[in-house]
Structure 1
Amino acid sequence: MGFTDTRFNVNLSILFTELPLLERPAAAAAVGFNAVELWWPWVDAPVPEQAELDALRSALEDAGTQLTGLNFYAGQLPGPDRGALSIPGEESEKFRANIDVAADFAASVGCKALNALYGNRVDGVDPAVQDELALENLTLAARAADRVGAILLIEALNAPESPLYPLVSAPSAVDVVDKVNAATGLGNAKFLMDLYHLSMNGEDLHEVIEKYTGKTGHVQIADNPGRGAPGTGDLDFTDLLDRLKKAGYDGWTGLEYKPGDKPSASAFEWLPAPLRAAQH
């Protein structure tokens, strides 16, 4: 089990960023991966020009890579994770404008998972008001995802790196998942279990896997400390991935780590080449 029984995809918003966006799918394919994921690529454009969407679709198709996960618009990423959907005013409006754009693009490339970052707390706004807005927007996002046959992912980040982000534990994120599913009746909201963020929060990863795998729609990994590749820190991914499989998880595991001081193509030595490609 472990690495040999896991379907991996590569996050092209943190790996291969030394290359232009449209060159990254081919770069991932060149080192053996046929599945990729992305944060929303246009940080200043929740509604990009159709030509940009078409160009990305072509780049994915030409490289033979399947897009398996896509973030909704989430503000300025990379950088301090902040999201948009719970921030009143312009950011929330941008998120709403992006919902159908992202869902339709996902449908056009066969992507079945859409991730919605919750959004930072902001000065001068009652957290309860932000939470009410978040539930409204997540409900809209869940319905759009359902329309295109996708799931909605809700992620916990980590408090040291994202101190203003309110979902900084597995229970807090799963609570929102449950609220969205109760609001929509669709059941398509799922937990995004990012083992790096959860470990940074000091959570017991074995306990998280045992309790929440049944509500998990996607897993992401990076080692801790450092957010590097497996083997650069202290996490035992053979054990963790085994536990996920035994708990019933059979979805994608996203490689969302920093390549360090070497080119991204050299950041996969821990994973034998025959294990990089996965059946979709």
Structure 2
Amino acid sequence: MKIAHKYNADNDMWMIFDFAGANALYGMKEWRLSPNAKPRVSSDLDRSSVMLMPDISDWIGPYIVGADQHGNGRGQEFTGGNHNYDGSVDGSVTGRTLRYDIEVDGKKLKGKKIASAKRIRIKVVNRIQGFNTKEADGIGREILQEAITYVIEGGKVHVHVKITPLEDITLYRYYGLQSVNGAWNQDIRYFAGNTEVAQHEAAKYSDSGSKAAHPGVDQYWLRSAIQNGSTHNLLVSLDREYGLGRLDFLADDQPIAFTQEYGKSYFLQIYNKEAHLKRRHSIAWQGSYHFFSTMNPNTHE
């Protein structure tokens, strides 16, 4: 699925949704720029383009989650997202996409078509194994279902994730909303509303400070270096008044958002406060990604 919007005066941005990663889950995969000096987005999706951000890692986070009963005794490791059984490209999967549906302005898209729309809605349903139910031969037991809904409007991608336990489980660590920063690797700024709480180089470890010190953190903003007079920007926002975004399962001494030197940033929604979930009792969170280009890299949109 290729979704195009007018990115700046010289380019359209193409967002590609497809199966990707170690578990081949359906989701955001690539971002490309295609030259277009006209004021409106072009419907020609076969013309040339250049890669802005390739498929490298997961954007909707994996889980450290275990079954409360009948586990196989394995220790805590990530499952789902881009994490298969042993972390290699050849390991058995720990998650799978059950189904996905695409709607264009409220109408289901069938077959290969080019359509003009204000809003694209993609709903993906995945099944995920636990660290103590995954198996090397690929027949691990799935213990939760995640329903991910993407709503794309121009350069904004709104995300809603509903997590439904298929049996009694415990979540030990979960990020949920995260980003791969290769195209936006100059600096990162952490915000609580309109208040900047920290700014750092994007290629080094950093965080927003502890939850106790900065309890209102709800955004981080990544920027590239200036390229041909403009800057690539990515603003990632978590709804702090909804579901897991309230951070009831995040210890006060942990940061709400952080960046690792290997080039990824994360919100930390569950850590050091276990989430015990009963079968069929769902939890959820929502947030957004905003991809935009600016002539002035100091503009916060």
User: Which structure's residues are more often strand, by fraction?
Assistant: 2
Which has the higher relative contact order, 1 or 2, with Cα contacts under 8 A spaced 6 or more apart?
A: 1
TM-score of Structure 1 vs Structure 2, range by shorter chain: under 0.3
TM-score (norm 1): 0.24
User: Which structure's residues are more often helix, by fraction?
Assistant: 1
TM-score (norm 2): 0.23
Which structure has the bigger radius of gyration?
2
